[in-house]
Amino acid sequence: MEILIVDDELVSRKTLQKLLENLGKCRVAESGEEALSMIKDEIPDLILLDIIMPGIDGYNVCETLKADRATKEVPVIFLSANANIEDITRGFELGAVDYITKPFHKAEVKARVRTHLSIRKMQADICAKNSMLEQKISEIKVKTEQLRQKDLQLIEMDRIAGIGTLAAGIAHEINNPLGFVKSSIGFLKKSIEKLIRVADYWDDQPLEDELRKAYKELLDGMNYDHMKNSMDRKFDRVERGVERIITIVNSMRRFSRVDLETVGHLDINQSIDDAVTILNSEDVDAVEFVKELGQTPLLECSTSEINQVLLHILKNALDAVEGNGRVKVMSSFNEKKEQISLQVVDNGNGMSPEVLRQALNPFFTTKQVGSGTGTGLSMTEAIIKRHGGTISIVSEEEKGTTVTVMLPVAGQKAGVS
């Protein structure tokens, strides 16, 4: 511990220095100016400060110390031959911890100094422990956040895996009966064409009037002419419906990619097409999807994760337009930066500045209870960052939202291994 003795009387300085040398390192100053200069270089643990000194007196020195953040906690014991209550009170009001009158009683001085040094040491220990606790709390907060992010990642990975497995399973199960339906449609179409030819055959054959009348009544009763004329349109609609189902199933199989390795090469434009196809399979007839896809190289990435990012951003845009509006998807390649740019623009409700600030926060959602967990965009951002990319969102209420994603094409730059 270090003690600074400030007194303009040589005898007092020497006496106190000799008396307190066993309690700590003692330094001395013979004026207020010298004391303040010494304290700038090295802050003591305790100051014994004479009040009456030429130049800057003890009160001013104490006031200066207490006004400085670096020295305001240093305990000050005033020394004075004045023992009147006004001087003592003023000393305590300025922040002194004790007041010793001259002439000194050695035992009293030593006891008081020892007490305040002990208090100072305890305060220093408490500060050190508080600092350690704050550091530990900070470390715990960091680890807690890391664990929370890992939990979110695991939840999302399980969800992605579940969706992928389910999509692949559904696609596989649908494929076989779909094949039967497709082949059966062709057979039925040819068979009905033959039956129509059989029915039409009797129109040109000589029949008795009574038989021809009964035959005509039969055809009219089944609305034969209308059925015959609309048959091609009906079969065309069925065939187009089957082809649409096949397209959606193939998109689901490609999009899930459960049979591929975690890291692979992804055609981002094909994934956009697949995602739009899957989302268009929902009841979104009033939504116009516009695609402006530029030439892009293959993206080295975790294919299932990037597909999930695309699906989530597009689904958010679809939700924003509430079934009536336009969603525009654009892709391009920046050769200089070797980055693929993806932009999704909707003309939906947009977001307020407050909602926009929280859009990427975990568990934040504006959807009704049960409609979303609020982990989607935060996990989307985490996936993009893991791939070395960036995501930015620009939105304005009643004017729509633009989401921009930048992804480096090379795996080593993307941090994918």
pLDDT in the model for residue 371: 40
* Fold exhibited by the domain 2-104: Rossmann fold (3.40.50)
Instruction: Kindly report the average pLDDT of the chain as a whole number.
Output: 81
pLDDT in the model for residue 330: 95
Of the two residues 281 and 41, the one the predictor is more confident about is: 41
Tokens read off for 261: 């390795």
Q: At what angle do helices 268-280 and 303-321 cross, to 10 degrees?
A: 40
Vertex 374: Cα angle to 372 and 380 (nearest 5): 115
pLDDT in the model for residue 167: 63
Given a cut of 60, is residue 260 above it in pLDDT?
A: no
pLDDT in the model for residue 366: 54
Given a cut of 90, is residue 217 above it in pLDDT?
A: no
pLDDT in the model for residue 331: 95
Mean local confidence (pLDDT), 88-110:
89
For 320-342, write each residue's pLDDT tens digit: 887 678 899 999 999 999 999 99
Poorest-confidence range of 2-11, 72-81, 183-192, 294-303? 183-192
pLDDT in the model for residue 159: 61
Given a cut of 70, is residue 264 above it in pLDDT?
A: yes
Tokens read off for 394: 């620009």
Poorest-confidence range of 2-6, 138-142, 217-221, 307-311? 217-221
DSSP state of 329: E
pLDDT in the model for residue 60: 93
The residue among 410, 376, 409 whose CA lies nearest residue 393 is: 376
Vertex 256: Cα angle to 254 and 260 (nearest 5): 80
Residue 382 CB neighbours (<10 A): 20
Q: Is the peptide bond before 103 cis (omega within 30 degrees of 0)?
A: yes
Burial environment of residue 283 by CB neighbours within 10 A (0 to 12, 13 to 18, 19 or more) = exposed
Poorest-confidence range of 118-132, 299-313, 367-381? 367-381
pLDDT in the model for residue 257: 54
pLDDT in the model for residue 369: 39
Contact assessment for residue 348 and residue 322, using Cβ atoms and an 8 Å cutoff? yes
Give residue 253's pLDDT band: very low, low, confident or very high (50, 70, 90). low
Start-end of CATH 3.30.565.10 domains in the chain: 260-417
Mean local confidence (pLDDT), 186-210:
78
Given a cut of 80, is residue 118 above it in pLDDT?
A: yes
pLDDT in the model for residue 171: 67
Start-end of CATH 3.40.50.2300 domains in the chain: 2-104
pLDDT in the model for residue 210: 77
Of the two residues 166 and 249, the one the predictor is more confident about is: 249
CA distances from 256 to 298, 308, 342, 383 (A): 17, 9, 20, 16
Percent of the chain with pLDDT over 70: 83
Q: Tell the residue number behind the tokens 């559904």, with chain if given.
A: 170
Poorest-confidence range of 50-54, 81-85, 140-144, 256-260? 256-260
Q: Note the pTM of the prediction, 2 decimals.
A: 0.45
Mean local confidence (pLDDT), 11-37:
90
Given a cut of 90, is residue 61 above it in pLDDT?
A: yes
Cα(314)–Cα(346) distance, integer angstroms: 9
Percent of the chain with pLDDT over 90: 27
Given a cut of 50, is residue 143 above it in pLDDT?
A: yes
Cα(185)–Cα(243) distance, integer angstroms: 12
- In our burial notation (b when 16+ CB lie closer than 10 A, e otherwise), range 261-276 reads eebbebebbebbbbbb
CATH level 2 (architecture), domain 260-417: 2-Layer Sandwich (3.30)
pLDDT in the model for residue 156: 61
CA distances from 290 to 28, 280, 330, 399, 407 (A): 83, 12, 8, 17, 21
Give residue 136's pLDDT band: very low, low, confident or very high (50, 70, 90). very high
Cα(194)–Cα(185) distance, integer angstroms: 14
Of the two residues 255 and 150, the one the predictor is more confident about is: 150
